[in-house]
Structure formats: structure tokens, C-alpha cells
Amino acid sequence: MLHIYCPYCEEMREEEEFSYSGEAHIVRPKDPKSLTDDEWGDYLFFRTNPRGLHHEMWHHSAGCRRYFNVTRDTSTYRIYETYKIGEKPIVTGEKS
Amino acid sequence: MTNRLDQCNRMAEGGRIDRSQPLTFTWNGKDYQGYQGDTLASAMLANGIKVVGRSFKYARPRGILGHGAEEANALMQLGEGKETIPNPRATQIELFAGLTAKATNGWPSVDFDLMHWLGKLGGKMMPVGFYYKTFMWPEKMWMTYEKFIRKAAGFGHASAHPDPDIYDKLNQHCDVMVVGAGPAGLAAALEAGRSGKRVIIADEQNEFGGSLLATKESINGQSAITWVEQVTAELAAMDNVQCLSRTCVFGYFDHNFLAALERRTDHQGMTATSGSRQRIHRIRAHKVVLATGAIERPLVFANNDLPGVMLSSSVATYINRYGVVPGNRCVVMTTNDSGYQTALDINGAGRTVVAIVDTRQQPSGRLFEAAQAAGITIKTGHAVIEARGSNQVSNALIAPIDASGENVTGETVTVSCDLIAVAGGWSPVVHLTCHTGSRPKWDETIAGFVPGDSDQDQYLAGAITGEYTTLGALQAGAKMGALVTASETSTSYACEDESVCPPQALYLVPHTKSVSRAPKQFVDFQNDVTAAGIALANREGFESIEHVKRYTALGFGTDQGKTGNINGMAITAKNLGKTIAETGTTIFRPAYTPVTFGALGGRDIGELLDPARHTAMHVWHQQHGAEFENVGQWKRPWYYPKGNETMQEAVNRECLAVRNSVGMLDASTLGKIDIQGPDAREFLNRVYTNAWSKLAPGKCRYGLMLKEDGMVFDDGVTACIDDNHFLMTTTSGGAAGVLSWLELWLQTEWPELEVYLTSVTDHWATCSFSGPNARNLLAKLCDDIDLSAEAFKFMDWRNATVAGVKARIFRISFTGELAFEVNVPANKGLYMWQQIMAAGEEFGITPYGTESMHVLRAEKGYIIVGQDTDGSLTPQDCGMDWIVAKNKDFSFLGQRSFSRPDTSREDRKHLVGLKPKDPTVVIPEGAQIVPHAEVTIPMPMLGHVTSSYWSACLGHGIALGTVKSGNHRMGETVYCPLADGRVLAAEICSPVFYDPQGERHHD
């Protein structure tokens, strides 16, 4: 069971308080009508689903009700960081 | 004194039992005696009981193999009646007065078992994969076969009565969690405890000490037991240390979360006399020290499952800890030094060691010399290749083997004995490390798997790393204890010289015959897996160790391969010509040892399993005989039967009352979200399909909410309270999901919108009354607003005083009749309900439940999201294109998906009405819809029935359903074939069956 730091509550809390909310940083297109069906389909249905580092959204549903981002390794479940909506991840797996 | 004589294997002194406290217990219907401090296993062995059960597949007699969690054979049916517990190990059951136990299988008895006949035949007739191969055909017979197989082979049975005990769960937090209280764990806990950190130390046994409880070694110049007692006392005296004995850490989960089962009263009796019997500790630890020790491996030789073949370390434990010598004439077979200590212990207990049979060609060292000095016969370069005896060991066949351990090199001699102690080396208890996804790695130097790399903040100490000496364990424990508390130094320890002679890795003892022709050589006792069975599986092409496991059942069951896995993997590796490292290991999963369902459930059972939500009027519904329906966690009145009414009769009466006069529904469960802020209106425009820009205060509007894929997700009426203030209602079941959905968009995509959401579902109680007399009724209770149809229109809402209470009245309708919903603060809900019921008496007001609500709305073709829709219908599919705005500035959620090729095609399933051809028929909900009356297979499927009821006011059955291209098939006949053979015909029609012009609710 994961132990998650809520960046709004600024506390480590149990996974039971949170809900998973899918991949993070999926931006809704500004003008959906101008997109081709393929482009809209990509936005709707396609996710990276990596083995390894993953940026994902969680909801502190039984807590402060805020959505936030988590950088987690999907194979080890290690959480590298949590950060607020609108912020950028520090851990990206890319060489700096 | 007769009792002493009964305990034929009990030593006169020694051990950690209290001979002044004899305890009587019953095994298979006969009374025996043991002592306080015994386990059931030690007491059985003290009484000379050899056969404790029959094996799973071949029904062979089995005896006690081990002394703890590793025990594979001695599964008991403990206690009787409603208290009975299936399958605890005799080695882990602490003896108490009056304990009763019997074998879990064996018919008519464990000593004479009829199934054993099959087992004997099974030598040739029940190969590995027997069940797969034999009982797979014909497929439909499997259930019959399985019933028979389960009865014949099964282990214990669970009580069919409610559990008489209660169980608890406890959440714990600590800096350092130490698992295991042997030398390594105690040393670690001592170091951590002295640093002042919060420490929890848990051990599955009744007292701390682990291997030290059964050793004659010394620590720092005093007996090991003295050290254990001193350390345990020091730990117990520390406020920052919690000592949990009888507590098995059975699971190790992500981020250092551990689950441990504490057996609080199991040692006192079958049930707890007060408080909880067991409790689960849910422990979140900053750092975890695993000091879980090691389990001795048995050796695989012919008939090695005969009662009387035991683990060498277990024999030593019974002697030193329980004062029991489980045999008179003992042969010790060993591949390493540990067998020698057992031989010395047997010798010291005054029983005969026939021989130490050491598979190594040239052993040496302190223990070897001590055995020589004691005058014990040592046969080096030899092995026990076969045990013989009927129901128990009577002879051992001993033969010389070569250095590779693969061949018998000389004549076999037979010696008479009743106990064969086997020491096949040690397997670190890596189970917990596997639970978090770590894979064990093979360590050639110790010939065992040790924990692999882990992502947990975990530290290892002692035998789990292959460090098998007491001194090494103490030092490793102290070092890890210092490490986790960041202290510079750690306590040092001194023990006797424990220099060891290297062990031999021997996983299959050779026989004069080949593996397939020799008597059965058991690898996994609990699952009856033999070396020949593994060889057959390998020959048949099972090469992955995970496949071998599943085909042979190696490592299955409550045992989880504690004794058998390593030998089985090594045998597989050899068969395949690979190394053990290449073959790898299967993974151990939680739980380490079985956990009762009672403990897992804890207090979260019965009424506490799931919270029940009641509306403010719940008591009234109960008093008036309502039957209730679960809607999410809500308990909603379903219908209100009168007298001997059936459900259908009650629903007919309720529906007609609404159509002809007035009825009232408790609508409080509808989700209610208060939406405020300057951008509230724009927000609604984005999340609903229709336009909200011009909705004036005092007005309501129905809205349809979509997911981005264009599919209907929720619906409800939203009222404009003020320009910057709206009250949204959602479906009863969807309220929580809708709130999360709205929050998601506000917080992630549209943070520029200033909108505030508050769930007010429980704040308001809603009395919804419908029918031609609804206005007349309201007029009796409310005189401060104009109720006329012109002044208070359909889809208006008003602030008003009803029966003296400030209320919001919504003129909205889910029945198709003139209807009002009176909303008052929840604590006035019951009062308001009673006032309206009283005022409505003259109109014959009838309370109605969800079933009648469903009928009434279906007559009007109003959908219920989640019943008529299933996440695959667009508004157009539902025939609700009228609610989709075409020209909103913002591309609302889901809009773009309407033009996707799949959503815009004409042959999608559409929601339509279905009128049964036979007016007396009600088509079952869920019925499939097909184009032809003649049932042919395969048959094209058109859709299914989503809602179906008897309409009392129309006098025939009505249904809603999804049908391919349904909108273009009006008037066509479709068919619903049922499981009972009937085929019902129905005509596709408009879903609006009643008052299609909507005259009644506009009134």
C-alpha cells in the first residue's frame, strides 16, 4: 500500500485516502473542432502506459479533494516526487 | 505416574516446558497428556504418535516433519462444532487444557485409509498432471469430477456457523520494524531500542529467542537462554519498544507497510473469553529489519515421507526446547555440520544414534570431532537412499555415494531404526522480501536463495542472508540496528568457535534404481510432488519453473514451498541441464502463513461492512412498512405493501394513485452540488450539452453530462438560484463521481474559472409529490407565493414557506404529472414529510417507492442513467438530440466525439420503446433482442432490454431497450428468446408510452 505525500496537505498519507486518476499532463486541445479524428482519438484513448517512470494524477479524494501529480515507477512503485497541478516534474528520466 | 509412562518419549528433565502443569488433550478421539509449554506437535511426539495425517494425492501416511511454520504434513482439524478451525499446523498450536484435534483427512482413519489403495495403485496410475489429463473431458463433467476429487483429497473443513469470536485491526507506526526475534532480530531491536527510536519487534512464536530457544550454545560467556531473557526484559522495559510475540508478519507491502497477525488467545482455548481472539497490526515503518531466519531443507530420497523422517533441526528443537526425543534408534543423514549437533543432542538424551550418515566425503571440524569423541558411528560419503517400513520408519537403506552425489557406488546395507533425521542444508526465509516484488538470487556459497535487490527501505540480518552462525547473526543484527538508527558503534558479542566445514549441495539423493523406478522420492510433501513427477513434467516440455510449479503443484497450498521449493527447482535445473541461477525461483506471495478470514474482516462485518445512508424520513418509511432497496449506500423505500399485497399489487396501487390523485416520493438521495462563483454559468456551459447562458434566477433546466468520448455519464436538473449561484442535482448513485469529475476540470484544465463546488446532498431533504392534485395539496400548506400555472410554471423554482418552514419548491417532474419538489433543511425533512402526508389525506396521498418511480418514468420514456445507459450511448443514441446545443462558443465536454466515425454511424444501438405483442407479458430486463422468432445459432444480436414493467395505467407491459438502428425500425417486430424456451415478440415504438404531448405536467 502506497504512502503518498499530498503537496497541498503537506503530509504523508495512506493510499486509502487517494484515488488514481490516470496519466498526468494530458492537455485538452484548445480547439477540439479543428482536430482530425485521429488527433482527437489520440487525446481520448492513447496513453503511454510505461514500465518505469510515469507521471500520473492522483486525487486526495478522502482528504483535501485536490488533484495533484505523482512521479512513480510503475515497476517498483517508488514515488520520486509529488507536485501541484501546473507545476513541472523534476524527475523525468531524461539526462539533464 | 501413569501419565509419565504415557509420554514415552518425554525426557525426565530439560526443555522450556512446565512439568508441574500437565494438560490433557484429545487426538482423534483418544486422550493424551502434555505439559504447559508444549505445542500440539511436541505433545503428540512425546506420546509416541507417529501418523498424523494422510497425504493429499496418494493418501500415504504422514508424520510430523518440522517444528514450526515449515511443517508440511501435520495439518489439524482443531476443535469441534462452530469453533472448529481447519488446517492449523500442529507445530504452531500451543497446547491448552482440553484441546481436541483430529486429522484433516484419512478415511475411515489415518492409520487405515481406503484412499491409500488408490495411492498405491497411483504409483503407476496417478502421474503428475493426472487430474488435468484424466478429468478434462468431457468438459461439462468437470464439476462432477471435482466434487469427488475434493472430497477424497481435501484438507480440513471450515465451520458453517458464524464465527463466535471478534477480531480487531490496529494501525501502527514506527521508526524501526524488526521482523523475527532470534539472535539477529533481538540484537537489532536492542540496538535500535537503546537509541530511543520507536521500535516494534514481532515474532510468530510464543516467546522471543528463535533458534536460541533450542541451542546449547553460549553468548558472552553465559547460556544463550540467559542472554535471551536479559534482552527480552530490557526491551520490554523500554517505553519506545513494542514487543509482539505470537505475532506473525505475514505480508510486506509497498513503502514499508507490513501486516502482522497477533494471536492473542489461541494459546488459551478455542475462543476468547474476553476481547478479541486475534488482531491484525497494519504497520507503516520507516525502516524494516528482516531477521526471519532460515528453514532446514529435507533430503529427497526414496520413501522419505514415511512417518519417522524428520528435519534434523526439528529433532534438536524437540529435544532441547520441549524435552521430547521423537525416536529410540536414530539415523542422522546430513550434507552439512548441523546434523552433527542433532546427533550429539540425541546421544545426550540417552537414545541411540545408529549412525551419522554424512554425504560429504571428508567432513572435519569441531562438531565432527565431538561426534567422534562421543563414540558415534560416522559413515562419510554415504547416504540414506531409502526408508522402509509400514506406516512408519523401521529400516534405513544406506549406501556409499560418489563425490558428485549422483551415483551409488557400492553395496547397500540395511539398518534398523525408527527415526531418520535429515539435514539437507538451509533455505533463508526470503518470503517477505518477495512480497514487494523483489526476486531472490541464488548464492552458490551457501547453496540457497537469498533476498534480491529491493526498493524498500529494508535491512537484512542473520540467517536470511545465509549467515548461519549464532555469532554472525548477533553481529549482523547489532550492525543493522546501528545502521537504521545512524549510530556509529554497535554492541559486540562473543560465542564459541563455530568454524564450519563447507556443506555439500545435494538436492536428490541417488538410488540404485532410476528416479522413475525407485520408490517415490518426495520433494513437496503437502502437494505429493515427487522427483519422478518433476522429471516427467520436464520431459513433457515444462521448462519454465513457473510452469513446472503449476503443472506439478510444487509449492502450492498452505505450505507455499517452504521445505520443497529449492529441491524442486534444483531437480528441474539438473533435468534441463541448467544452473539453479538460470532456472530461477518461483515467487512467494502473501500470506507467509495462513490468516483467518475473521482477522482479515476484523470489525468490518455485518452492519459495519459498509456504511448505510438513511434519509431524514427513514424512520417514517420503516414505520409505514416500506421494503427498502439499496441505491449505492442509500437505503431507499422500494415500495410500501399494504396488508397482504404482493409487490406488483403495491406498485400498481402506487402508480395509479400518482396518475389519478397524488403520490409522494422521498427524493432526498439525489446528489446535490452547490455551485457558486462568477464563472459558474460558463462552467455549466462547458460540462453540460445544452446552453446555460440565459437561464434566469427562478428557473430550472434539465442537463445531460457526457464524458469526453461523447457518452452519457449523468443527468439531472440544475436550478439557477442567482446569477452566480446554481444548485445541480445528479443521479443518486453518481453523485460522488460527478463531483470528482467537476473538480477535475476546474483544478486541472480551467483554473482560470472562479467556481466553488460544495456537496450539499445530505443538507437537504426532498419531498417530491406528483399527480393531478399536487397543486391543491401544496396550496393547503403554502400561501406566500402564487401557485397558479401562469405564475409558477413548469421548470420554475420558488423560495416559499411550506407548513411554516422556509423551503425551496421546484416545479419539476419525473413522473409526467404535475409535480412539486419541496426541499427543506434535512433536520426539517421528517416534519415536512409528515405535514404533507397529513394535508394530503383528503386526496388519498400515497407514498411510493423507487419501483413505482421507475414505472412512472418509463411510461414517459425518461431514462435512468446507468440502467438504460451503460457508458456506450450518446445523447443521439438515446433520442435526446434536442438537448445538444449546436452553437455554443466553447466545445463542451464530449461534443467533438459526436463526429467521430464510430459515434456518427447510423447503425448504432438506439434506445427505443418496446411494446410486447402479448399485452399481458412483461419481458424480463436484460433479455436479448434478435431479429427472428426461430432460434438459430449463431443469431445476429440487435440489443437488449434495459427497463421493463407492467404499466397499470396503460394495462399492458412496457419496455425500453437498445436496438441496432432502432430509430429507423419503428413499427418493426423483434424477438426476445428467453432461457425457458419462450420467445417473446415486441414492436419497436417511441419510448414515450404515456401522454406524449406532455400536457399533464405542464397543466
Which range (A87-96, B205-214, B407-416, B594-603) has the least confidence? Answer: A87-96
Which pLDDT band holds residue B2 (cuts at 50, 70, 90)?
very low
B881 touches chain A (CB under 8 A): no
d(CA B145, CA B742): 54
Does any domain span residue B726? Answer: no
Backbone Cα Rg of chain A:
15
Contacts of B862 (CB under 8 A, 6+ apart): B814, B816
Last residue of a domain, one of B162, B181, B201: B162
How many of the other CB atoms lie within 10 Å of CB of B174? Answer: 23
pLDDT of residue B105: 74
Residue of A nearest to B456 (CA): A78
> In chain B, how many domains are there?
3
Cell matching residue B917: 405483442
pLDDT of residue B158: 86
Q: Do the chains contact at B748 and A32, CB–CB below 8 Å?
A: no
pLDDT of residue B20: 97
Mutate to test the interface with B, among A4, A35, A38, A67 (most CBs of B within 10 A): A67
Q: What is the mean pLDDT of residues B710-735?
A: 96
* B146 shares a domain with B11: yes
| B183 three-state secondary structure | helix
Strand partners, A67: A59
Q: Which residues constitute the domain of residue B372?
A: 329-422
CATH architecture of A3-84: 2-Layer Sandwich (3.30)
* B202 shares a domain with B266: yes
d(CA B312, CA B334): 8
| B819 three-state secondary structure | strand
CB B114 within 8 A of CB B108: yes
Handedness of CA B450, B453, B454, B458 (dihedral sign): positive
pLDDT in tens, B342-380: 999 999 999 999 999 999 999 999 999 999 999 999 999
Q: In Å, what is the CA distance from B381 to each residue of B354, B356, B398, B429? A: 16, 11, 10, 29
Strand partners, B671: B730
B254 touches chain A (CB under 8 A): yes
With CA atoms as reference, report the closest residue to B242 among B203, B287, B293: B203
With CA atoms as reference, report the closest residue to B948 among B871, B867, B869, B846: B867
pTM recorded for the entire structure:
0.90
* B287 shares a domain with B206: yes
pLDDT of residue B811: 98
Q: What is the mean pLDDT of residues B546-560?
A: 88
Q: Write the DSSP assignment of B331-365 as a string of letters.
A: EEEESSTHHHHHHHHHHHTT-EEEEEEE-SSS--S
Where residue B122 sits, what CATH number does that domain have? 3.10.20.440
Mutate to test the interface with A, among B604, B748, B889 (most CBs of A within 10 A): B748
Q: How far is A9 from chain B (nearest CA, A)?
A: 16
* B436 shares a domain with B410: no
CB B920 within 8 A of CB B927: no
- Which of A67, A75, A79 has the CB atom closest to B744's CB atom? A67
Handedness of CA B917, B922, B924, B925 (dihedral sign): positive
Chain-centre distance for alpha carbon B995: 52
Q: In Å, what is the CA distance from B787 to each residue of B137, B698, B776, B800? A: 74, 14, 9, 10
Q: Do the chains contact at B747 and A14, CB–CB below 8 Å?
A: no
The 8-class DSSP code of residue B141 comes to: G
Which pLDDT band holds residue B1 (cuts at 50, 70, 90)?
very low
Q: Write the DSSP assignment of B555-598 as a string of letters.
A: T-TTTTTTTTHHHHHHHHHHHHT--HHHH------S-SS---HH
Q: What is the mean pLDDT of residues B94-123?
A: 72
Which pLDDT band holds residue B332 (cuts at 50, 70, 90)?
very high
Does any domain span residue B265? Answer: yes
* B202 shares a domain with B53: no
* B250 shares a domain with B216: yes
| A window 14-53, beta carbon within 8 A of B | 14, 19, 21, 27-28, 31-33, 35, 37, 40-41, 43-44
Which pLDDT band holds residue B112 (cuts at 50, 70, 90)?
low
Residues of A in contact with B254 (CB under 8 A): 1-3, 77
Contacts of B59 (CB under 8 A, 6+ apart): B105, B106, B113, B115, B116, B118, B119
B887 touches chain A (CB under 8 A): no
With CA atoms as reference, report the closest residue to B746 among B679, B817, B808: B679
| Mean pLDDT of all residues belonging to chain B | 93
Which pLDDT band holds residue B123 (cuts at 50, 70, 90)?
low
First to last CA, chain B: 99
Does any domain span residue B150? Answer: yes
Q: Does residue B803 have a pLDDT over 90?
A: yes
pLDDT in tens, B818-862: 999 999 999 999 999 999 999 999 999 999 999 999 999 999 999
Which pLDDT band holds residue B149 (cuts at 50, 70, 90)?
low
Q: What is the mean pLDDT of residues B303-332?
A: 97
Handedness of CA B230, B232, B237, B238 (dihedral sign): positive
pLDDT of residue B119: 55
Which pLDDT band holds residue B135 (cuts at 50, 70, 90)?
low
Which pLDDT band holds residue B129 (cuts at 50, 70, 90)?
low
Q: Does residue B55 have a pLDDT over 90?
A: no
With CA atoms as reference, report the closest residue to B119 among B77, B152, B151, B157: B152
| B window 160-219, beta carbon within 8 A of A | none
pLDDT in tens, B208-242: 999 999 998 999 999 999 999 999 999 999 999 99
Which range (B56-65, B89-98, B456-465, B849-858) has the least confidence? Answer: B56-65
Q: Does residue B479 have a pLDDT over 80?
A: yes
Q: What is the mean pLDDT of residues B291-317?
A: 97
Please give the interface size between A and B, counted as residue pairs whose CB atoms are below 8 Å apart.
60
* B132 shares a domain with B6: yes
* B77 shares a domain with B103: yes
ipTM of the complex as predicted: 0.97
Strand partners, B566: none
Where residue B401 sits, what CATH number does that domain have? 3.50.50.60
Q: Does residue B488 have a pLDDT over 90?
A: no
pLDDT of residue B134: 60
pLDDT of residue A95: 63
Chain-centre distance for alpha carbon B946: 33
* B455 shares a domain with B406: no
| Own/partner pairs, B884-888, CB within 8 angstroms, 24+ separation | B884/B689, B884/B690, B884/B704, B885/B689, B885/B690, B885/B691, B888/B685, B888/B691
Last residue of a domain, one of B162, B182, B216: B162
Q: How far is A17 from chain B (nearest CA, A)?
A: 14
* B257 shares a domain with B206: yes
Q: What is the mean pLDDT of residues B287-301?
A: 97
pLDDT of residue B4: 40
Q: Write the DSSP assignment of B727-749 as a string of letters.
A: EEEE-TTTHHHHHHHHHHIIIII
Per-domain residue ranges for chain A?
Answer: 3-84
Residues of A in contact with B896 (CB under 8 A): 32-33, 35, 40
Q: Which residue in the block uniquely carries the three cell numbers 529467542?
A: B209
Q: Does residue B560 have a pLDDT over 90?
A: no
Q: Which residue in the block uniquely carries the three cell numbers 395509479?
A: B656
Does any domain span residue B305? Answer: no
Which pLDDT band holds residue B5 (cuts at 50, 70, 90)?
very low
Last residue of a domain, one of B467, B484, B501: B484
* B80 shares a domain with B185: no
Q: Does residue B3 have a pLDDT over 50?
A: no
Does any domain span residue B979? Answer: no
Q: What is the mean pLDDT of residues B734-739?
A: 95
Q: Does residue A20 have a pLDDT over 80?
A: yes
Q: In Å, what is the CA distance from B696 to each residue of B787, B800, B885, B1002? A: 19, 18, 18, 19
Mutate to test the interface with A, among B174, B707, B747 (most CBs of A within 10 A): B747
* B462 shares a domain with B389: no
Q: Do the chains contact at B256 and A3, CB–CB below 8 Å?
A: yes
d(CA B165, CA B167): 7
Name the amino acid, one letter, at B688.
Y
Q: Does residue B909 have a pLDDT over 70?
A: yes
Q: What is the mean pLDDT of residues B271-299?
A: 96
pLDDT in tens, B594-626: 999 999 999 999 889 999 999 999 999 999 999
d(CA B561, CA B567): 10
Does any domain span residue B173? Answer: yes
Proportion of chain B above pLDDT 90, given as a percent: 86
pLDDT in tens, B755-789: 999 999 999 999 999 999 999 999 999 999 999 99
Chain-centre distance for alpha carbon B15: 39
